[in-house]
Amino acid sequence: MTVEYAPHGLIGVLTPQANTTVEPEFWLMLPPGVAMINARMTSDEPSLEARLIDYFDQIDQTIAQFHNAPVGAIAFATTGASYSPASRASARWSRPSPSAWACR
């Protein structure tokens, strides 16, 4: 299933709660015929690293925000703490989330 404004694909982008640059930067990089929709990752954790772990722990609920949108791929759009993630989050990244398979 495709949408009229994205005949070549729709990407779901997971963006940190207060990030103001991911969406405009993605729009600039997308090729013609590809579009994106956004879901916000939220966390009350105080540090970047703790928020990154919290985002990943909540990934299934965050991906569920796309509900039945015809998303063909999901981007986890983080920087900062993602350069040196804590071992707990890093170990979980080695396997896909069950929700990610539902987006195919």
The percent of residues in the chain predicted with pLDDT above 70, rounded, is 76
**Mean pLDDT in residue range 70-79:** 90
pTM of the model: 0.76
pLDDT score for 104: 41
In angstroms, the CA 16 to CA 62 distance is: 11
Going along the chain from its start, the domains and CATH numbers come out as 9-102 (3.40.50)
> In this predicted model, what pLDDT tens digit does every residue of 7-50 receive, in sequence order?
999 999 999 998 999 999 999 999 999 999 999 999 999 988 88
Judged on CB neighbours under 10 Å (0-12, 13-18, 19+), 20 is exposed
Please give the pLDDT value at position 1.
73
CA dist 92 → 7, 24, 56, 89, 103 (Å): 33, 29, 8, 5, 19
Both tokens of residue 74? 């999901």
